[in-house]
Structure 1
Amino acid sequence: MNDNNTKPNLLIIDDEANMRHMLSSMLKVDYEIDLAESAALGLEAIKHRVESGSFYNFILCDIRMPEMDGIAFLDHARPFLKDTPVIIMSAYGTIDIAIEAMKKGAYDYISKPFRKDELLLVLKKAMEREALKKENYSLKKQLDQYKHEASFPGMIGRSSAMKKIFYLAGKAAESDVSVLLTGESGTGKELVAKAIHSISKRSAKEIVSVNCGALPENLIESELFGHVKGAFTGASNDKKGLFAEADGGTIFLDEIGELPINLQVKLLRVLQESEIRPIGSVKSKKIDVRVIAATSRNLRSDISKGLFREDLYYRLNVLNISIPPLRERLEDIPYLCIHFIKKSSERLNKPDCYGITPEATNLLSSYNWPGNVRELENIIERSVLLSDGERLVVDDFADLSINMNKNAHAHDSIGVINDLTFSIKDAHKKIESYLIKKALEKSCGNRTHAAKLLEISHPSLLVKIKLYNID
């Protein structure tokens, strides 16, 4: 049924009047039926519906018809079908023809003569596929709406933890106070810094970002504060430092805990006096820079060890924003997944990959995520690259390592995955191939029994076995 409680509409294309009548009688209770006695007339019916602004929910099409067969119909109809599942029927077609039809875009294949329950099962699976699509589409709409409503472009999260981050970031953007962002590596501290800058009065200038842990110790002072010509060997020209580059804007000092102790003294002076002195210069220069710092270290512990200056800590930590690890905001994972899938599919030029199944989302939600959001983004990008389906499925994350000692919930979820039923809920190649192999193993190679486990017809199983080259 559709969401508005009307019957889904179904187009039946078959040149045999008896078959059209039989299918219509069989399915009219659950579907609104349109009939076409040829592929050409079926194509006209589809075009007419498109012109009226709608699409068929499902299409049943015979493969052997005069003038235009089912394969040619798929070629001609594809531009007008949108995502409508086409189920091919044939009393004569070989497995090779069925495979060709599925490569042309057919959703499934059913062999004549078939029982009513076989056909209803195929249509049920197609309906479940469409329901999954709608679920992903709904999630994308929610994500787009949320991003539209959010005050911080590019920041994703609906959890209470992230709402607190948004509130504090908004307050930080209202003033020029120094902000210290703390949290594990990969939680998105730089993203928060950029968000604060983007809605502050300094947003007309680009934020200047520097990773204090990535700069050679002998070059940090020159990079931050600049130098004059002849200040040291190799200083052949004056150099403008990053603080001077950020004048009038914001500088983001990432991994501030890695800054050498002697440079901490000079940074403290910059913060206190709002002025810099390039290496080799006798003059100081006033600057107007807002400082946002970030660290994944425990600075209080470093202070007790003499590794970080306590006075600098308090100067930086006027407003502290602690970014939660991903394992503490698991409810944000569905939104992050859709965001990263869209981002990766655009970057990798794979527009057909647009969503993720609930089972795969559950798997990702069971993982401990030691690398946090950065790790999730990398795994999604890899899965989009390797996937051949429209949605990412559990099998696309087969290499994901679950740390059960750190996350007991992960153990429960892995048990559920290992105990998956053999009912196919997706037509995508990898998960279908995986489940078919498992069903064949369970049935000791008995294809009839395997088809029952998979809840598909025996001819359809034969087609898929050959399609996926399963021994």
Structure 2
Amino acid sequence: MSRSELSDSRQRILVIDDEENMRHMLSVLLAGHGYVVDCAADGREGLDMLGQKQYQFVLCDIRMPRLDGMDFLRESRDISHGATIIMMSAFGTVESAIEAMKEGAYDYISKPFKADEILLTLNKARERERLRQENVRLKKRLADLESRQGFKGMVARSKAMHEVFSLALKVARHTTTVLITGESGTGKELIARGIHAESPRRDRPFLAINCGSIPENLLESEFFGSMRGAFTGADQDRKGLFEQAEGGTLFLDEIGELPLGMQVKLLRVLQERTIRRIGGSREIPVDVRILCATARDLAKEVQAGQFREDLYFRLNVVEIRLPPLRERVEDIPLLAEHFLHKVNAATGLQVKGISPSAVSRLVANPWPGNVRELENVIERAAILAEKQIILPENLPDTLGSRPENRRIDDFFNTYSLKKAKKIMEKRLIARALEAVGGNKSRAAELLELSYPSLLAKIREYGLQNN
């Protein structure tokens, strides 16, 4: 067993034993494997040292004068030490081992023991502690996520969006390429920024580029950079986006807008992890995580010959689909309040809230522009509000209008009767709950449903927080 396996950083250990030879042997053994070792001759001395220094581990004999190992275990509970305690005894029995575990010991070793037994037990204890700390860290991050009802600035209470946040948090810890899909205005760049902020690359650059906003003849220079004299106007060497984002994340928005020629070059970079500037002859290694987003159906683009299949599979390692706002109407009141606070902070307005009737109109709207459209509507309404509360008359006249003049497939986004029924049910239940302030009994009356049936449908559609 190598030292690197046992001690990737020097940790402090306290050895408590009344036998000087045992203390000496353990000190030499453990110091030789990277630990900083202190020794105590009995439990009382060990308690004093445990209260004065921070130890990661304690090796404690059971039979000792003044204060034996079992009493040491019990009294150590009054000290906030955080150490993992391993008991040792030459008079070990199953009963004494069980008793030690009940009193808080991590493990029990019978004397005489081989050096590898001690080292293996400590190695297991270290791995247990690492997993415990990782579990605490993850729980804290999840608690933070739940407390702010969102993911890095995004707010939501719907089941669909919390599934998105959970997946984003999982992939953030890895370098996996992620394809973020969804309609325009659903918040694809916010998810990308959240993934970067939760990743080990958080302290490195995050660069975002809209692939459809750059003229085709400038794409290669923008992505890969250029050398002085490579073309007219190139009066100095210039780094492209891949070099600028070194060690960080490059977010390619509207990846479906890339022309086929540029798709080939991007694929090569993803495979080789090198770029070559325009006019240059040297391959430059790059370490960049790629996140992509598109409002297009890339699978259909591949079938139509508009997008390379090999690049599609390279980008679509993990897909995160952002649902349109019409599929998560329970988020609309929460988002509206969030945007109102944002407008107040930015403009100095003091609009205190949104009237229930205005909320009802917001919930009834199909939101073809999704979250971005909702934000614009709330900003406009806050500016027009005259009574410190947003009223229906502050909203656009067309908002929440009935859909008779719209194609039914635009409203439901499906031809399936089963899916359309579910969409309509979910929207009506959400609206009823909103109208009665979350009172499920009254909502059941409005919907002409039995109370148990309503509860079942609330669970089915993820409306528990309404």
TM-score normalised according to structure 1 size? 0.55
Residue 248 of structure 2 aligns to which amino acid in structure 1?
G
Give the Cα separation in 2 of the matches to 1:322 and 1:227.
35
Q: Which residue of the partner structure matches residue 466 of structure 1?
A: none
CA distances 1:375-413 after superposition (whole Å, capped 9, x unpaired): 000111111112122221111114334361354979x99
Residue 374 of structure 1 aligns to which amino acid in structure 2?
R
Q: Which residue of the partner structure matches residue 283 of structure 1?
A: 282
Report the CA distance between 1:152 and its aligned residue.
2.3
Give the Cα separation in 2 of the matches to 1:359 and 1:145.
32
Contact 1:209 1:254 in 2 (8 A): yes
Give the Cα separation in 2 of the matches to 1:311 and 1:343.
42
Give the Cα separation in 1 of the matches to 2:402 and 2:225.
46
Give the Cα separation in 2 of the matches to 1:291 and 1:220.
17
Contact 2:156 2:334 in 1 (8 A): yes
Matched, 1:317 2:316: yes
Distance 1:355 1:151, change over 3 A: closer
Q: Which residue of the partner structure matches residue 347 of structure 1?
A: 346
Report the CA distance between 1:150 and its aligned residue.
4.8
Distance 1:300 1:403, change over 3 A: farther
Q: Which residue of the partner structure matches residue 214 of structure 2?
A: 215
Give the Cα separation in 1 of the matches to 2:199 and 2:328.
26
Q: Which residue of the partner structure matches residue 379 of structure 2?
A: 381
Give the Cα separation in 2 of the matches to 1:183 and 1:378.
19
Q: Which of 1 and 2 has higher RCO (CA within 8 Å, sep 6+)?
A: 1
Distance 1:145 1:268, change over 3 A: closer
Report the CA distance between 1:195 and its aligned residue.
0.6
Kindly report which structure 2 residues correspond to 1:237-252, keeping only aligned pairs within 5 A, or say none.
237-252=236-251
User: Which stretches of structure 1, 4 residues or longer, exceed 4 Å deviation after superposition?
Assistant: 144-147, 406-410
Q: Which residue of the partner structure matches residue 274 of structure 1?
A: 273
Paired-residue identity, %: 49
Give the Cα separation in 2 of the matches to 1:346 and 1:292.
31
Report the CA distance between 1:367 and its aligned residue.
0.5
Q: Which residue of the partner structure matches residue 199 of structure 2?
A: 200
Query: Which SS does the other structure have where 1:344 is aligned?
Result: helix
Aligned-residue CA RMSD in angstroms?
2.4
Kindly report which structure 2 residues correspond to 1:379-418, keeping only aligned pairs within 5 A, or say none.
379-401=377-399, 402=401, 404=403, 405=406, 406-407=410-411
Q: Which residue of the partner structure matches residue 137 of structure 1?
A: none
CA distances 1:180-221 after superposition (whole Å, capped 9, x unpaired): 001111110000000111110000123100000001111111
Give the Cα separation in 2 of the matches to 1:280 and 1:357.
62
Kindly report which structure 2 residues correspond to 1:413-432, keeping only aligned pairs within 5 A, or say none.
none
Give the Cα separation in 2 of the matches to 1:230 and 1:146.
50
Give the Cα separation in 2 of the matches to 1:248 and 1:150.
30
Q: Which residue of the partner structure matches residue 175 of structure 1?
A: 174
Report the CA distance between 1:254 and its aligned residue.
0.1
2:364 to 338, 363, 366: 366
Matched, 1:294 2:298: no
- Uncovered stretches (5+) of structure 1, i.e. residues with no partner: 1-143, 421-471
Distance 1:145 1:275, change over 3 A: closer
Distance 1:178 1:146, change over 3 A: closer
Distance 1:181 1:249, change over 3 A: same
Report the CA distance between 1:148 and its aligned residue.
3.6
Report the CA distance between 1:149 and its aligned residue.
4.3
CA distances 1:329-383 after superposition (whole Å, capped 9, x unpaired): 0000111001100111121221x11311111111100010000000000111111
Q: Which residue of the partner structure matches residue 254 of structure 2?
A: 255
Query: Which SS does the other structure have where 1:214 is aligned?
Result: coil
Kindly report which structure 2 residues correspond to 1:219-234, keeping only aligned pairs within 5 A, or say none.
219-234=218-233
Distance 1:276 1:150, change over 3 A: farther
Give the Cα separation in 1 of the matches to 2:145 and 2:378.
21
Query: Which SS does the other structure have where 1:321 is aligned?
Result: strand
Distance 1:198 1:145, change over 3 A: closer
Give the Cα separation in 2 of the matches to 1:236 and 1:373.
43
Contact 2:149 2:156 in 1 (8 A): no
Contact 2:246 2:288 in 1 (8 A): yes
Q: Which residue of the partner structure matches residue 443 of structure 1?
A: none
Kindly report which structure 2 residues correspond to 1:321-340, keeping only aligned pairs within 5 A, or say none.
321-340=320-339
Residue 234 of structure 2 aligns to which amino acid in structure 1?
A
Residue 356 of structure 1 aligns to which amino acid in structure 2?
I
CA distances 1:143-196 after superposition (whole Å, capped 9, x unpaired): x99774457220111101101101110111010000000111111000000011
Q: Which residue of the partner structure matches residue 416 of structure 2?
A: none
Report the CA distance between 1:306 and its aligned residue.
1.1
Distance 1:403 1:151, change over 3 A: closer
Contact 1:203 1:249 in 2 (8 A): yes
Distance 1:314 1:280, change over 3 A: same
Distance 1:392 1:151, change over 3 A: closer
Q: Which residue of the partner structure matches residue 152 of structure 2?
A: 153
